[in-house]
Structure 1
Amino acid sequence: MTTTPVPTHFAPLVPLAWALRAAGHDVLVVAQPDVIPTVRSAGLVAVSAGEPHDAIKSVRRLLTGDKRPLEAIPRFAPEQMGILGRVWMRHARAVLPEYLAIARSFQPQLIIAEKLEYTALLVGGLAGVPVLHHRWGVDAGSDVALRDAGTELADLAAQHGLDGLPLPAEKLDPCPPSLQFPSAEPGTPIRFVPFNGSGVLPSWHRARPGVRRVVVSFGRHILALNGVPHLRRVLRACATVADIEVIATCEEEFRDAVGPVPPRVRLVAPTPLHLFLDSCDAVVHHGGAGTALTATAAGLPQLVLPQWADQFATGERLQALGAGISLDDVASQDDPATLADALETLLSLAEHRKAAEELSREMAGMPSPAAVAADLARRY
């Protein structure tokens, strides 16, 4: 398995890695140092290759002043979504020699890579090994990005004797079909199993009777990208909703900047969401694929506040199915009344919970990672 050097890009592959290991197969994760702690936390074997990347630092170059991504980076049109893969095309040029040497030593029979990892396609073509791409969730961009990568990396492929960038043999898709972006190429379904890191069941995981519990989770990347003031506003707005308790995840490095929180808000260290979502009534988040699909698995309505890239598509699809509400512009995200009204609507209208539960049942009916692992072993 290979991945771009972003831990959240690798997380969707973990359940399939577990299933392959449980079936007796050898699984080796080849990744840059940024991802190695996540691989280890999942109990998998890794080879660290290349130099640290620091994806947050890369995105910061696009921001100005104290603006968050939504305020500084234009929203891409569908035909522009290939830009999401541009940095990983350059990444392929840097790490290909080392990845190829590792593959020739390990001699894999199958390579599985996350959807924006193009080095794997070159390695697979040179080693004569099939390569699968694994999506994260709602996918509005990777098909366009793959097309662009074929043009961008044609010279690199030719240098190594390949007739163009090889295509993945298939695409594994953990997104429920009804939720998936309409233009996404059909993929092989694989049930999403939450992997939000390892942790301990928190002592507060049970909600109080009669109190509606809401989770606010933006992830480290959003907070690091000038998102702390945004989190502060969202927490204050949520706390104005009646009969509510807010659980907000926040890394220790941002606690002081967030400052005091309203009495009905509990600020906690990052905790695997799947450990306590069964006690919750709704989730507020940025549209990250892992958070969105974890909330979907739990059957919870979602308030999505996208900041950039494919997060807009995630919010739009959840809203289209009635399982969520998406506020996708600065004005609505910064308005306390709009935020509070949207959250109250999600909590009080039964149709939102019903739609979320229907989507959860659809997800539960998808082939398990174990079934997909057995099928891959038969076919490859």
Structure 2
Amino acid sequence: MSRIAFVTPPFAGHFNPLFALALAARDAGYEIEFITGPRKSAVIRRHRLTPLALRSIGDDTLESIANTAEPVTNNPLRLLAQFRQNLRLLPAIGEELEQLWRTNPPALVVADSVAPIAGLVAERLRLPWITTIATPFALEARRGTPTYCGGWMPASNALEQARDAAGRAAIHIFKRTVGFLFRKEFRQLGLSSLYRSKDNGGSEAIYSPHAILGFGLRELEFERDWPPCFEMIGPVIAAPEPASPLLLPDAHPRVLVTVGTHLLWAKRELVEQVVALSRAWPEVHFIVSLGEAESSVTPFTQAADRVRVYPFVAYQENLERFDAIIHHGGAGVTYAALLAGVPSLVVPHDYDQFDYAARLAYHGLGLRVRSLSQAAEALPRLLDRVQWPALTRFQVYARAYEPEKAFLATVKQFAVPA
């Protein structure tokens, strides 16, 4: 039986889609080796797979890096500090993976985009590997509107086209600078450059040269170029954790509010802010999800007359029951809202969230505001379904993708099931 090794950090936006693909591969006849942080071991076992937690990763090592005390946004100093923390872990992780796979090599390695060390080890051992990426627009582009610049909209005139060109150049220079500053550390990982040679396409070396699979919608993306080996296979939003039945009030409108699984600093005042919002809109019922999947079976608490707080709300099973959603602009919740046909009010906080907010606003799928305090003013438009005719079209787009089928078709190019 062909064995596939899946490698991902234990963060919901990366773990959940990759785990869904692992289950699909198991059902298709492949043997599965799933490597992630210790925190996800219980849920992996619940689905009758054996987790493989690396000795080089402590219980909350990865989570402590991701859960920053303040927003990182596009601040280069904060990005570098976080990058340096990750970089310190990679030699030990790489050594452990190499020992594991040299002894018992898998037929294929599937590496999440934020676990590139798995791909580098696979390449060193001459094992085929593919990359999966939850935020496809993170791939560097040579044309179009750059990302991680605060949520730019597509250029509509010559001045904005010049802005885009300058933004793309700045991103490329920043990456080249990082490559130079950390050249010693990268060489220890077997990475001589962040980019492949021009003879090999000049693509980013941390992504597979064989196949890059994006969990997104081409229809949502702004006009740009993609690597030749890239395929958009569609969103995967299933959460593997069990959840308590969601008890919702009979009355409408209902609004779900969440800031996802990370952003602990943003959660501190979330419930208080939603309670204040409920006072401004006494006819609206608010459900708050704290994104704590490990506590998903805990019942809700009543924070105010029309504000219920759940540790975790599974989007796939429940989002269609809401009239709107207020969220942070994470990849998973963005695609979940499109699949459910629910309008979004996005309050971006960090990383790729500004770019998802821009895409939803540009295509007429939601609104973006700078803070939750501005939500009261935006709520009437958000709840007016007449304002969102594009939602039906994008829901059709999203539901037309078959990510598991596309993934298995790619896998069969490298590994044949039993």
Counterpart residue type for residue 204 of structure 1: L
Equivalent position of 1:58 in the other structure: 65
CA separation of 1:297/1:185 partners in 2, compared to 1, >3 Å: closer, same or farther?
Answer: same
- The answer to whether residue 406 in structure 2 is matched with residue 365 in structure 1 is no
Counterpart residue type for residue 113 of structure 1: A
Counterparts of 1:86-125 in structure 2 under 5 Å?
Answer: 87-125=85-123
- The answer to whether residue 332 in structure 2 is matched with residue 290 in structure 1 is yes
Equivalent position of 2:155 in the other structure: none
Equivalent position of 2:53 in the other structure: 48
Q: How far, CA to CA, are the matches of 1:188 and 1:359 in structure 2?
A: 19
Equivalent position of 1:236 in the other structure: 276
Match of residue 129, structure 1, among 119, 123, 127: 127
CA separation of 1:35/1:363 partners in 2, compared to 1, >3 Å: closer, same or farther?
Answer: same
Shift of 1:4: 2.9
Q: How far, CA to CA, are the matches of 1:120 and 1:13 in structure 2?
A: 14
Q: How far, CA to CA, are the matches of 1:5 and 1:201 in structure 2?
A: 22
Give me the identity figure in percent.
24
Q: TM-score, normalised by structure 1?
A: 0.80
Equivalent position of 1:204 in the other structure: 247
- The answer to whether residue 302 in structure 2 is matched with residue 278 in structure 1 is no
Contact 2:9 2:62 in 1 (8 A): no
CA separation of 1:238/1:315 partners in 2, compared to 1, >3 Å: closer, same or farther?
Answer: farther
- The answer to whether residue 305 in structure 2 is matched with residue 263 in structure 1 is yes
Unaligned runs of 5+ in 2: 1-5, 142-170, 195-204, 296-300
Contact 2:255 2:286 in 1 (8 A): yes
Q: How far, CA to CA, are the matches of 1:231 and 1:183 in structure 2?
A: 39
- Deviation track 1:153-179 (CA, whole Å, cap 9, x = no partner) reads 764665577765654122111211122
Contact 2:73 2:351 in 1 (8 A): no
Q: How far, CA to CA, are the matches of 2:282 and 2:136 in structure 1?
A: 32
- Deviation track 1:26-82 (CA, whole Å, cap 9, x = no partner) reads 12112232443453455433211022244453356653xxxxx2xxx45459xx989
Counterpart residue type for residue 26 of structure 2: R
Counterpart residue type for residue 58 of structure 1: I
Q: How far, CA to CA, are the matches of 1:212 and 1:27 in structure 2?
A: 44
Q: Relative to structure 2, which stretch is displaced further, 228-237 or 354-363? A: 228-237
CA separation of 1:88/1:203 partners in 2, compared to 1, >3 Å: closer, same or farther?
Answer: closer
Match of residue 368, structure 2, among 326, 329, 333: 326
Match of residue 27, structure 1, among 32, 36, 49: 32
Q: TM-score, normalised by structure 2?
A: 0.74
Equivalent position of 1:248 in the other structure: 288
Residue aligned with 1:116, SS: coil
Q: How far, CA to CA, are the matches of 1:311 and 1:81 in structure 2?
A: 15
Equivalent position of 1:378 in the other structure: 413
Q: How far, CA to CA, are the matches of 1:128 and 1:153 in structure 2?
A: 25
Counterpart residue type for residue 280 of structure 2: T
Q: How far, CA to CA, are the matches of 1:203 and 1:57 in structure 2?
A: 30
Residue aligned with 1:27, SS: strand
Shift of 1:301: 0.9
- Deviation track 1:66-110 (CA, whole Å, cap 9, x = no partner) reads xxx2xxx45459xx9898755444432231101111222331121
Equivalent position of 2:386 in the other structure: 350
Contact 1:215 1:284 in 2 (8 A): yes
Counterparts of 1:177-188 in structure 2 under 5 Å?
Answer: 177-180=218-221, 182-183=223-224, 185-186=226-227, 187-188=230-231
CA separation of 1:43/1:109 partners in 2, compared to 1, >3 Å: closer, same or farther?
Answer: same
Q: How far, CA to CA, are the matches of 1:178 and 1:296 in structure 2?
A: 12
Equivalent position of 1:192 in the other structure: 235
Q: How far, CA to CA, are the matches of 2:327 and 2:289 in structure 1?
A: 10
CA separation of 1:217/1:162 partners in 2, compared to 1, >3 Å: closer, same or farther?
Answer: closer
Q: Relative to structure 2, which stretch is displaced further, 283-292 or 89-98? A: 89-98
Contact 1:239 1:245 in 2 (8 A): no
Shift of 1:17: 1.1
Counterpart residue type for residue 29 of structure 1: F
Q: How far, CA to CA, are the matches of 1:141 and 1:189 in structure 2?
A: 12
- The answer to whether residue 52 in structure 2 is matched with residue 10 in structure 1 is no
- Deviation track 1:284-312 (CA, whole Å, cap 9, x = no partner) reads 11112122222221111111111111111
Shift of 1:263: 0.7
Q: How far, CA to CA, are the matches of 1:103 and 1:83 in structure 2?
A: 31
CA separation of 1:283/1:82 partners in 2, compared to 1, >3 Å: closer, same or farther?
Answer: farther
Counterpart residue type for residue 314 of structure 1: Y
Q: How far, CA to CA, are the matches of 2:385 and 2:285 in structure 1?
A: 18
Residue aligned with 2:262, SS: helix
Equivalent position of 2:375 in the other structure: 339
Residue aligned with 1:276, SS: helix
Tell me how many residue pairs correspond in the alignment.
356
Contact 2:108 2:127 in 1 (8 A): yes
Counterpart residue type for residue 298 of structure 1: A
Counterpart residue type for residue 346 of structure 1: L
